[in-house]
Chain A
Amino acid sequence: MSAESASAIQRNQVDLLDFVDWSGVECLNQSGTHSLPNALKQGYREDEGLVLESDADEQLLIYIPFNQVVKLHSIIIKGPEEEGPKTVKLFSNREHMGFSNVNDFPPSDTAVLSEDNLKGKPVILKYVKFQNVRSLTVFVEDNQSSSDITKVQKIVLCGTTSSVHLMRLSGDAIL
């Protein structure tokens, strides 16, 4: 039963891009020319040449609200080998964080990206911590080579929404 439900979760995973509330998406310390849509939006993120770059220093703070409650299962962060992100902290349901208070709260999860991750291997998150996510804050603390600029080529969020999960439950019950 549990094995079945685990695979069921993976099967039902969708790209949460459709549930992003674009009017509230913010990114602190992004460069004017290389901004967040390059990494997040459907067409742009597939293009290897379009990257999100940091500006004054190597940290980035990305705030992504959703238009409904979602469950986050994994994320994929792609970037160049050298300037791609290394330590990434995720905060769920924290509005309007700033660089000054990122260290005030414990993150919901922390990921240290390896080369494989930067090539596209998904990072599985602590599912229990991301059960009812209204907004996600991604804090990129540093990058692989400790250079001044961090570059992110693509960000994909995978998970499910509550409605999908309910449908799955009802299917089980009938059986």
Chain B
Amino acid sequence: MVLEATMICIDNSEWMRNGDYSPSRFQAQADAVNLICGAKTQSNPENTVGVLTMAGKGVRVLVTPTSDLGKILACMHGLEIGGEMNLAAGIQVAQLALKHRQNKKQQQRIIVFAGSPVKFDKKVLEMIGRKLKKNSVALDVVNFGEEDEAKTEKLEALVAAVNNNDSSHIVHVPPGPSALSDVLISTPIFTGDGEGGSGFAAAAAAAAAGGAGFEFGVDPNLDPELALALRVSMEEERARQEAAAKKAAEEAAKQEKGEQSTSQDVNMTDTAKAGTSESENKATDLTDDENALLQQALAMSMDDSSSNIATRDTDMPEAAGDDQDLALALQLSVQDSMKDESSPADMSKLLADQSFVSSILASLPGVDPNDPSVKDLLASMQNQSEHKKDEDKEPKEEDKK
């Protein structure tokens, strides 16, 4: 993840027409360049890459260091092959282009593809190398194409002169069955001095295959802030989805309740919620079908069979806020359930206490204790659920009248 500005020097001389690398030396080189550009920009989004050609009419900068991958790939099209490679001039122009980079904090690197013979002296190249080292520019050389002992020796001397703490490398790629790019992937040119190299190389080879097994595709060592941000947003999303699912289930449950008098879902352990939902029901059903639903609520808490009470939890606080008495009722029911886990029995005792229930009902706005249906309700609290169903229908009809 080093912040780097890179200049890639392409050899587009006549020697590149040769087909000993498939499909041709030039094409293999172009593929390798594309891969390197992708690798550099991926390892650090602020990295910039530029491209120049060394042969043809003269050294020509195709694109100055930029982080825009599209621009770089576009300039690789329509390149003409011809002329002779001018290595010294190419490196010097690359150095100049790097000197004028926008972000001075970037490290400077030059990558040279040397496919044709080198006509310069070893001494000249060593001087160039020393100058690069003095200005802390790193150099990577890809020695492919023409195989020439003198060429190899000169390039080795050049890299040795530049090399400072193993930041510069030279790679020899002989012609063979495997493509130039494939051979380069495993070299330090790609892996960048071993920093986060393996993770990146694997990703490059597998074409962005989820970051080589790291969670979220980002190596926490390489980019801890990004990994943390991804993890946090994943958890938030999960929580949000759960809440949404809960709400959806509640909505569904409410719909059901309106239709059936009692639901048969048993939730023995959530007896605390049973008590509270009863009070909650009292509040929410006031505006509607008060008595019917009220009856259902009481029946629910009487029975061990309560509806999917868990899903109604979130409505409770809102209900409580509306009514002080309701809050009191809530408190009482909660207290009761806390005292005894299996509190339906207690709850029924409480409800059986007529005076208590009457007082609660009286405090509820809109419920008249003298209402016959309410009286029926109170009377029927000890009855079976089927019996309550009938009574439930009665008040419904009454109210419809």
Whether A and B are associated in the same complex: the answer reads: yes
Which residues on A are within 8 Å of B, measured CB to CB?
28-29, 32, 55-57, 59, 95-96, 98-100
On chain A, the residues within 8 Å of B104 by CB distance are 95-96
- Tell me which of A56, A95, A100 contacts B99 (CB under 8 A): A100
- Please name 23 pairs of A and B residues whose Cβ atoms are closer than 8 Å in the assembled complex, sorted by A: A28-B134, A28-B135, A28-B136, A29-B134, A29-B136, A32-B164, A32-B165, A55-B133, A55-B134, A55-B164, A56-B130, A56-B131, A56-B133, A56-B134, A57-B130, A57-B134, A59-B134, A96-B104, A98-B135, A99-B134, A99-B135, A100-B99, A100-B135
Q: Mark B123-137, 1 if CB is under 8 A from A, else 0.
A: 000000011011110
On chain B, the residues within 8 Å of A96 by CB distance are 104
On chain A, the residues within 8 Å of B133 by CB distance are 29, 55-56
Q: Give the nearest-CB partner of A60 in chain B.
A: B134
Shortest B138–chain A CB gap in Å is 13
Q: Is the interface of A mostly helix, strand, loop or mixed?
A: loop
On chain A, the residues within 8 Å of B135 by CB distance are 28-29, 98-100
Apart from A32-B164, A32-B165, 5 more pairs, CB < 8 Å: A29-B133, A55-B133, A55-B164, A56-B133, A96-B104
Q: Give the nearest-CB partner of B130 in chain A.
A: A56
Number of interface residues of B (CB under 8 A): 10
A82 and B6 alpha carbons, distance in the complex (Å): 39
A32 and B138 alpha carbons, distance in the complex (Å): 14
Q: Which of B129-151 contact A (CB under 8 A)?
A: 130-131, 133-136
On chain A, the residues within 8 Å of B131 by CB distance are 56
Q: Give the nearest-CB partner of A31 in chain B.
A: B164
On chain B, the residues within 8 Å of A29 by CB distance are 133-136
Q: Give the nearest-CB partner of A59 in chain B.
A: B134
On chain B, the residues within 8 Å of A57 by CB distance are 130, 134
On chain B, the residues within 8 Å of A55 by CB distance are 133-134, 164
Pick from B99, B133, B134, B164 the residue with the most CB of A within 10 Å: B134
Shortest B93–chain A CB gap in Å is 14
A28 and B135 alpha carbons, distance in the complex (Å): 6
On chain B, the residues within 8 Å of A59 by CB distance are 134
On chain B, the residues within 8 Å of A28 by CB distance are 134-136
Q: A55-B134, A56-B131 are in contact. Are A98 and B164 (CB under 8 A)?
A: no
Shortest B135–chain A CB gap in Å is 6
Shortest B4–chain A CB gap in Å is 16
Shortest B14–chain A CB gap in Å is 33
Shortest B40–chain A CB gap in Å is 22
A32 and B164 alpha carbons, distance in the complex (Å): 7
Shortest A13–chain B CB gap in Å is 32
Q: Which of B41-83 contact A (CB under 8 A)?
A: none
On chain A, the residues within 8 Å of B134 by CB distance are 28-29, 55-57, 59, 99
Q: Give the nearest-CB partner of B127 in chain A.
A: A56
A144 and B29 alpha carbons, distance in the complex (Å): 49
On chain A, the residues within 8 Å of B99 by CB distance are 98, 100
A83 and B136 alpha carbons, distance in the complex (Å): 22
A93 and B177 alpha carbons, distance in the complex (Å): 56
The 4 closest A-B pairs by CB, nearest first: A56-B130, A56-B134, A29-B134, A96-B104
A57 and B133 alpha carbons, distance in the complex (Å): 10
On chain B, the residues within 8 Å of A95 by CB distance are 104
Shortest A92–chain B CB gap in Å is 18
Shortest A14–chain B CB gap in Å is 29
A23 and B336 alpha carbons, distance in the complex (Å): 65
On chain A, the residues within 8 Å of B164 by CB distance are 32, 55
Pick from A56, A57, A95, A99 the residue with the most CB of B within 10 Å: A56
A1 and B163 alpha carbons, distance in the complex (Å): 58
A56 and B130 alpha carbons, distance in the complex (Å): 6
A99 and B134 alpha carbons, distance in the complex (Å): 8
Q: Give the nearest-CB partner of B131 in chain A.
A: A56
Shortest B193–chain A CB gap in Å is 14
On chain A, the residues within 8 Å of B165 by CB distance are 32
On chain B, the residues within 8 Å of A56 by CB distance are 130-131, 133-134
A59 and B135 alpha carbons, distance in the complex (Å): 11
A32 and B167 alpha carbons, distance in the complex (Å): 12
A164 and B165 alpha carbons, distance in the complex (Å): 43
Shortest A170–chain B CB gap in Å is 39
Shortest B107–chain A CB gap in Å is 11
On chain B, the residues within 8 Å of A98 by CB distance are 99, 135
Shortest A135–chain B CB gap in Å is 13
A85 and B136 alpha carbons, distance in the complex (Å): 21
On chain A, the residues within 8 Å of B130 by CB distance are 56-57
Shortest B163–chain A CB gap in Å is 10
Pick from B99, B130, B131, B135 the residue with the most CB of A within 10 Å: B135
